[in-house]
């Protein structure tokens, strides 16, 4: 194998596939980046067996070949090279020679035979979705997945495609995030994608890129293609919770409020709440104002916010963390809160559009 | 106690004194910030008994008083408040009321009686030094102090003032950094200041500030005054090593080289060296070039740099870390290296000025 390319372009490619490489693994080969030269240039692959990332780039190929290099060492070396042409040759005895300006490295490489092949996903049915939109949908859902590995299905996000609408749903037993978006394609699908996968997909997305993300779904795998990068991931097995049943159909109180104001107030209240149990903050909705209070051994806090209330007054308590998480990912200026009783879930939505619904279970107060 | 001031100004003052507060302490009161109101405004103090930081700020004082607040909680609360006037009142039962816009906190505070007083340093003899200069002198020396607490004196920097020249010296048994600078004052002094103190002094310095830093030295304490901030620190006890004896008087080889080039080369070489023992890199100086090599089980690297050599060829090896540390803090474009034999210390200096001298012990090569 012998090729040359620019240091910057090679570094860019490495940084993409390196995210797929196992950080901790008992299989040494998985610490490597697989590099294949062919008549089109370079194909680089990193995988941890759950996720695989492949990227192709142009290069001046003088001799075809395959090699697996230690991802960390190789990326450190390439990063430190001057901004010039890099010339790479596979020598005898698994030695890789890396030349750039007046620098010459010779490093030991792995034999590529043991490197696992990525699963083959036939791209006969492809969905297309704007990169910026999908990035936003990941941001508004993935944080609500469960961290608890005892219910693996909840560590993923449901992707439900029906009639050119994509519903992404995450829930962890205490809150639920639902984001709707437009997707094009000629089929329907219902799969659960690991949160980790979506975080990695998020990295390869470019919100300024006009070319859409391509998604192909099979029974076991999802393939995401953004430009010259492909990310392939296993899906989670099992049935996702019937989330539509959980969403309340009606409410008795509807509060309209500035998103930034309620976020700041809850964050301040949580400074004391987080020292106590449950991160407990209490909302008292009354006419034209909402009072947010919290207390712990350290002291107490009292916040007042002007609101527009439609319906009944209510007093209800929540884990502040769940509200903060969602308020941070809603960019709309005004949001609304919908309540029924202080024992039934609260709903948070942007005021101006219907594409996002966030549900939180209340905390039962001792005085209830 | 009752005062009001702007949220931004209070946050600024807290962030200064908070650096003096103990992160880990068995004495709860040391987790606090001492706040005193008087007719001039506020005086805030944080101390861990080794270092004390005091800052004064203007405030609208309605009633004088003293309080000690938990530094972490108070700074988090003030940081999260809106950019508006903050009104603070000490109530009964050690409750501090903090009001800002429509937010009201009540937090428990410490009784100020147990808060340790800062040592009193008479400012009858004051040195003055430009803030930017002193900041640079700290940067070029403090990294070379020892991390080894078994020889406490080497964990500090010698400040030796003679005839309006300040020599700052740090050494750890493997390398030595000496920086000279101009200081004004009518006395001579020789003290050893803990590295931690100088790092904290560095934070209160503003390189764009025209008003000089004021330094007062006593037998046991150093007082640094920058504008409205005072930092007082214990000195280290004991005799510093006679560093002048260590500095070589002559050399046989003098290499002139671009600082950035040799830094980049050594950093690349150290990618492999750090996996082996000693971070070993080898310099081969020969006529018009210097070859830097390193090898470990992972592979080997070969770097060539153009140089100007005066004197003899030499082959010598060093711990790359010691060179990298110093090359990072020398901003001059060209540096020179001076060698005598491959068993005697190497010297690194800026080419164009005499204010900085850095010495490194070589590593004995197996082939020597």
How much is the pLDDT for A367? Answer: 59
Interchain CB distance below 8 Å, B268 and A108: no
Contacts of A301 in chain B (CB under 8 A): 103-106
Q: Is residue A276 predicted with pLDDT exceeding 80?
A: no
Q: How far is CA A310 from the centre of its chain?
A: 35
> Is A73–B271 a contact, with Cβ atoms under 8 angstroms apart?
yes
What mean pLDDT comes out for the span A270-299?
88
Predicted pLDDT of residue B275 = 66
Mean pLDDT of B83-106: 96
B299 closest CB neighbour out of A102, A107, A304? A107
Give the whole-angstrom CA distance, residue B324 versus residue B319: 9
Contacts of A300 in chain B (CB under 8 A): 105-106
Tell which wins on pLDDT, B123 or B240. B240
CB contact under 8 A, A271 and B80: yes
pLDDT confidence bin for A273, thresholds 50/70/90: confident
Look at A268 and B70 and tell me if their CB atoms are within 8 Å. no
For chain A, domains (ranges, CATH) are 2-114 (3.10.150.10), 127-244 (3.10.150.10), 249-360 (3.10.150.10)
Q: How far apart are CA B290 and CA B288, in angstroms?
A: 7
pLDDT score, position A312: 96
Report CB contact under 8 Å: A299, B264.
no
- The H or E element that residue B308 is part of is strand B308-311
CB contact under 8 A, A80 and B267: yes
Mutation to test the B interface, candidates A105, A265, A327, most B Cβ within 10 Å: A105
Which residues on chain A are in Cβ contact (under 8 Å) with B298?
70, 73, 107-108
Measure CB to CB from residue B104 to each of A104, A297, A301 and give the nearest one: A301
Mean pLDDT, rounded, for B281-296: 94
Q: Kindly identify which residue of chain B lies nearest to residue A109, measuring between CA atoms.
A: B298
Give per-residue pLDDT as tens, A61-94. Answer: 999 999 999 999 999 999 999 999 999 999 999 9
- Confirm if B1 and B87 have CB atoms less than 8 A apart: no
* Tokens read off for A233: 């991931």
Question: Is B272 in CB contact (< 8 Å) with chain A?
Answer: yes
Mean of the pLDDT values across residues A314-339? 97
Chain B residues with beta carbon closer than 8 angstroms to that of A77:
268, 271
> What mean pLDDT is reported for chain B?
95
Nearest chain A residue to B299 by CA distance is A107
Q: What is the rounded radius of gyration, in angstroms, for the C-alpha atoms of chain A? A: 25
A106 touching B (Cβ < 8 Å): yes
Residue B368 has pLDDT above 60, yes or no: no
**Is A200 at the interface with chain B, CB within 8 A?**
no
Segment B348-358 shows an average pLDDT of 96
Determine the average pLDDT of the residues in B279-297.
93
Instruction: Determine the pLDDT at residue A368.
Output: 44
Give the end-to-end CA distance of chain A in Å, rounded to a whole number: 73
At A184 the pLDDT is: 96
* Contact B72/A at CB under 8 A: no
Q: Considering chain A, what percentage of its residues have pLDDT values greater than 70?
A: 99
Question: How close B51 comes to chain A (CA, Å)?
Answer: 27
Cβ neighbours for B189, distance < 8 A, ≥ 6 positions apart = B127, B159, B160, B161, B217
Name the more confident of B98 and B297: B98
Nearest C-alpha in A relative to B264: A80
Split at pLDDT 50, 70, 90, the class of A297 is confident
Of A33-47, A220-234, A276-290, the range with the lowest mean pLDDT is: A276-290
Which of B77, B96, B299 is nearest residue A105 as measured by Cβ atoms?
B299
A77, A80, A106: residue with CB nearest B264: A80
Span B250-260, average pLDDT: 97
pLDDT of A274 > 90? The answer is no
* pLDDT for residue B336: 97
The Cα–Cα gap between A269 and A280 comes to 9
User: Looking at residue A107, what DSSP letter applies?
Assistant: E
Q: Please give the average per-residue pLDDT across A287-308, as a whole number.
A: 94
Write the residue in B80, B107, B268 that is nearest to A298 by C-beta: B107
Q: What do you get for the CA distance between the two ends of chain B, in Å?
A: 73
| Strand partners of residue A336 | A256, A349
């Amino acid at each position: 194998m012998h090729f040359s390319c620019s240091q910057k372009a090679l570094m860019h490619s490495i940084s993409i596939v390196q995210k797929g490489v196992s950080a901790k693994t008992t299989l040494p080969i998985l610490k490597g980046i697989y590099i294949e030269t062919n008549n089109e240039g370079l194909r680089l692959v990193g995988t941890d067996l759950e996720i695989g990332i492949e990227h192709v780039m142009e290069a001046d190929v003088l001799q075809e070949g395959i090699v697996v290099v230690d991802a960390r060492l190789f990326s450190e070396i390439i990063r430190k090279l001057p901004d010039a042409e890099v010339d790479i040759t596979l020598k005898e005895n698994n030695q890789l020679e890396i030349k750039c300006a007046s620098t010459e490295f010779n490093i030991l490489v792995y034999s590529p035979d043991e490197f696992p092949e990525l699963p083959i996903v036939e791209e006969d049915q492809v969905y297309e979705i704007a990169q910026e939109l999908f990035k936003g949908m990941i941001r508004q859902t993935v944080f609500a997945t469960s961290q608890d590995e005892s219910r693996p299905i909840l560590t993923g996000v449901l992707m439900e495609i029906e009639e050119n609408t994509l519903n992404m749903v995450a829930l962890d037993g205490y809150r639920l995030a639902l984001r709707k978006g437009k997707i094009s394609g000629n089929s329907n699908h219902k799969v659960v994608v690991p949160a980790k996968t979506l975080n990695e997909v998020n990295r390869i997305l470019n919100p300024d890129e006009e070319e859409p993300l391509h998604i192909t779904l099979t029974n076991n795998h999802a393939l995401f293609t953004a430009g010259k990068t492909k990310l392939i991931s296993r899906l989670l097995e099992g049935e996702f919770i019937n989330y539509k049943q959980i969403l309340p159909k009606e409410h008795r109180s509807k509060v309209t409020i500035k998103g930034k104001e309620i976020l700041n107030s809850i964050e301040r209240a949580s400074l004391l709440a987080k020292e106590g149990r449950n991160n407990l903050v209490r909302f008292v909705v009354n006419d034209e104002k909402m009072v947010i209070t919290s207390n712990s051994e350290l002291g107490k806090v009292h916040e007042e916010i002007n609101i527009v209330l439609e319906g009944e007054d209510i007093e209800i308590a929540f884990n502040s963390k769940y509200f903060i998480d969602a308020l941070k990912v809603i960019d709309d200026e005004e949001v609304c809160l919908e309540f029924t009783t202080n024992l039934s879930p609260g709903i948070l939505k942007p005021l101006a559009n219907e594409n996002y619904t966030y549900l939180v279970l209340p905390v039962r107060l001792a005085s209830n």
